[in-house]
Amino acid sequence: VKAGESEAAINFLNALPPGEEARILAQLSLDEQQAFLKLLDGEHAAWLMETLPELQAAQLLSSLSPEQAAHIVDEMNSDEQVDLLDQLPEEQSEKILEVMNPEEAENVRFLSKYTSLCAGGLMITELLSFEESQTVDDVVSDLRQNAERYAEYNVQYIYVINHDLQLVGVLRLRDLLMAPPGKRLSSLMIPSPLCVPDSTSLQELQHFFDSHPLFGLPVVDEANVLVGVVRREDVEEAGEEQAGKTFLRFAGIMGGEELRSLPLKIRSARRLSWLSINIVLNIVAASVIAMYEDTLSSVIALAVFLPIVSDMSGCTGNQAIAVSTRELVLGVIRPRDWIYVFKKEFALGMVNGLALGLLLGIVAYIWKGNAYLGLVIGGALAANTLMAVCLGALIPMVLKGFKLDPALASGPILTTITDMCGFFLVLSFAQAFLPLLT
């Protein structure tokens, strides 16, 4: 790839199956990406930028001269322009804006007032709006005349505004199609249409599109002036990006997206930031074992069961966390329903605790031939399972009650507590039965 010429490179890219370019390009080093980019014209380069993960695209862009960068950014879609320039230091993005096509640059400046995860940051400004006094014929002839210009627009609705540019109505294309030609928009439109202020959060937008089968939602500023349209697909894309970050955070990777093409220093630090907390939690939990060293040295077999009890309880508790998290998302429970949830989980904890306790107790009994060891291990696991299940069910509800994200903190809180309790239950039961175990 590196040594190829312009035409060969483009042919090569075109020959790749879809999805392959992104994969191959993302794995190249920055130098190689740069060399490759130079072989492409503006349009191809813009497409490449949109194909790369955002983080890498920004890195690549910032390695170019402002003129080269501006040339590429000019060719991109307005919302992607903003997203990409947002990733650069302000000084650098300002330099690029200065040499960009002035009209494009002004639009980017307008859109970049907004943070990326609100309606203003997600909206596009390409929309069709007409005044309420116009007729169906006016609109249809304008559409026919400007068909070429509008071809790039993703038109689903026509927005109706008044003299002050305020949004007063919305018109579906089908209503326009089915209406008599002389009719005024004001008598055809759906008045007072659904719209959102430009500050609406991504979460609210997701909620909106989940409960309304619409493809776009008009966005207004404080004066009710129509400023843009948020499209369903952009909200979904932003939602997926967020979900990706949440997925990584859930597995203990903080501070944003990780891709293997990032420098080792960043990747290592992002992973260590959670690992270093986790090791402290682990040391705290394991310190319970240290307090029972005497008991442990009398019955060394206990050491085999400590990790089993703690891991099993973490697992049982995580099941309850998952069900609570899911029920909270589905809206079938709320934080104040904790008594209902507690009753349900208590019953389940009793059943599953007895089942698992019996199983592990029998294993312990068979292994060492000591029924009391079985009783100690089985009893500890049963009790810890009951506790883990109840705790796992309630932790996400408590966090949600305090407006915290249950997905993130529930797991670590649970496992630290179940580890400590598991160690404590096994070792204190053992201490109580010590003469019978040795």
Give the per-residue contact string, 23-62, with its own copies (x = CB under 8 A; - = no): x--xx-------------------------x---------
How would DSSP label each residue in 282-343?
HHHHHHHHHTTHHHHHHSTTHHHHHHHHHHHHHHHHHHHHHHHHHHHHHTS--GGGHHHHHH
346 forms part of the interface with its own copies (CB under 8 A): no
What does the block give as tokens for 222?
């404080």
Residue 166 per-residue DSSP state: B
- The one segment of 60-68, 186-194, 197-205, 292-300 that binds its own copies by CB under 8 A: 292-300
The tally of CA atoms less than 13 A away on the side-chain side of residue 166 is 8
Size of site (CB under 8 A) for its own copies: 102
Distances (CA, A) of 302 to 67, 354, 419, 436: 69, 20, 15, 14
By CB under 8 A, what part of segment 76-95 binds its own copies? Answer: none
Which of 233, 366, 432, 438 binds its own copies (CB under 8 A)? It is 233
100 vs 216, which CB is nearer to its own copies? Answer: 216
331 forms part of the interface with its own copies (CB under 8 A): yes
339 forms part of the interface with its own copies (CB under 8 A): no
- The one segment of 159-167, 221-229, 242-250, 398-406 that binds its own copies by CB under 8 A: 242-250
By CB under 8 A, what part of segment 111-140 binds its own copies? Answer: 140
How would DSSP label each residue in 341-363?
HHHHHHHHHHHHHHHHHHHHHHH
- Smallest gap from residue 288 Cβ to its own copies (A): 9
Strand order in the sheet with 157-161: 129-131, 157-161, 167-172, 190-191
What does the block give as tokens for 384?
């810890």
Which of 54, 86, 311, 405 binds its own copies (CB under 8 A)? It is 311
- Smallest gap from residue 8 Cβ to its own copies (A): 24
Residue 225 per-residue DSSP state: B
110 vs 342, which CB is nearer to its own copies? Answer: 342
By CB under 8 A, what part of segment 392-421 binds its own copies? Answer: 415, 419
213 forms part of the interface with its own copies (CB under 8 A): yes
Which of 8, 190, 303, 371 binds its own copies (CB under 8 A)? It is 303
- The one segment of 39-47, 101-109, 186-194, 309-317 that binds its own copies by CB under 8 A: 309-317
Handedness of CA 67, 68, 74, 77 (dihedral sign): negative
Could you give the CA distance from residue 415 to residue 310 in angstroms, rounded to a whole number?
Answer: 8
Which of 35, 64, 173, 434 binds its own copies (CB under 8 A)? It is 173
184 vs 344, which CB is nearer to its own copies? Answer: 344
Could you give the CA distance from residue 72 to residue 61 in angstroms, rounded to a whole number?
Answer: 9
The partner residues of 173 in beta bridges, in order of sequence, read none
Distances (CA, A) of 310 to 290, 299, 301, 306: 15, 18, 15, 6
Place of tokens 């207004």: 220
352 forms part of the interface with its own copies (CB under 8 A): yes
- Smallest gap from residue 372 Cβ to its own copies (A): 18
- Smallest gap from residue 437 Cβ to its own copies (A): 14
The residue type at 182: G
96 vs 380, which CB is nearer to its own copies? Answer: 380
CB 80 within 8 A of CB 165: no
- Smallest gap from residue 131 Cβ to its own copies (A): 18
Give the per-residue contact string, 251-280, with its own copies (x = CB under 8 A; - = no): xxx----xxxx--x--xx--xx-xxx-xx-
CB burial of 204-226 (b: ≥16 within 10 Å; e: otherwise) equals ebbebbeeeebebbbbbeeeeeb
CB burial of 249-271 (b: ≥16 within 10 Å; e: otherwise) equals beebbbeeebeebbeeeeeeebb
- Smallest gap from residue 113 Cβ to its own copies (A): 26
- The one segment of 75-83, 92-100, 194-202, 299-307 that binds its own copies by CB under 8 A: 299-307
- Smallest gap from residue 221 Cβ to its own copies (A): 26
239 forms part of the interface with its own copies (CB under 8 A): no
CB 423 within 8 A of CB 286: yes
Length of the chain: 438
